[in-house]
A and B are shown apart, each in its own frame.
Chain A
């Protein structure tokens, strides 16, 4: 098994209505990524692994096939993976086996999303996710089903909205230090509680924004990494895990699939006591409660995350800093790109380039994303 390194990262602003087409966003993210590797020429890149969430957003059928020129893949391998919201981190997983298998010495991983295209709103497209016979006739909104999960989670651990709202406060504050963020800000718990109720218990400020954006990472084999950088970050553990598609037949209290994925990734990376060993956590936070729900799964203890939150341990200077980037709630949520942004954050944190967001002495980090019908967990573990 070859060791795989992340040797560069680049991203565009995350914004609603970025005045760029998807290929233009991809190109900008790739350029910034190569600049980050000391202006490496695209000629030295062996291939591209692309990811982007539903085809419907960009308004392209088979949208992976739009990236060939923009990602510099002419005459090189280019394929696209896609596991719903879990795609961004899944791209890290897929990137890993591209390089570890010996097939690639260097690989660009690109993720993008153009969510401001759809009219009247992205939810109209999200509706196509539901079962066309059993669910779509009810006229659902994707927020409905997350509200169902949030309620089940709150009930199981007797959680108050006041506590969960702290996640939004923390992540939006963290995002103030992120140069590409969309929704950084100082807000209060009351702001969250008083924001419009969308689907109880989800208020508007519990939800991450819809965004456009692209992120690119450059991966390299150990040998290539030594040649190309002095400051690699090692991608040491990767895993995904998918639960059943029949989500109404499952208990939503605990993301068991995230737990299994995390266990596999930790084992691969030699992490035996995650709470002790891991310095930076980037759990997937499209909704406030999701950060806690996922942290429960990553740590492997149902209900532990709200306790850590109440103790203030999830702050950047706490014992278990989560989403120091600002997460999806603060930086923005261009679905697949948001997941890869979390992997990029591990790279910046562990290579000591996170600027004002820097968690001191960070050595090991974990990033996770989640998607499909509350169904898939994707996890990567990185090490300095």
Chain B
């Protein structure tokens, strides 16, 4: 099957806010239907994606090393990190819950780091390799993005409930802040990446640069 024409060949541009195909031949800067700003590609997509990604990688370290929660039961307190929470469930035989938390809190951010790095590097090398699969990978990253917020919600609810002073008390700890920042920055990183770059060839990139610079 033939590839359909691309929007940049036809001098069209997709409005990301309302989905209208906008005509760029007379240098429109705004979508005529919803007034949102128009760009051929997301601005500085690669730089922004890298920046957010690196920021979230930095936060990922304290998020996993620092305690996210402090449990005091009958006077004796204990800090727990995300991984120790997973292990605790595992040891008590609740492997299903352990698996949910492990996937949401540790695997999902990990997958996002690897996937986004792979996408960034291949795009920068103008790779033609597995473009369809890379498009799917990007959609997958977008889909799983916010599920990492799970642990933040769990800690919040548990801390709000267990408030019995001396008898038992659960408090959030600073690790959860870093963890939340990891989620936000990986989400911003995925949003800044423009999946259309996967399909751009060096020729139509030049064409677009010309059009933008005029």
- A and B bound? no
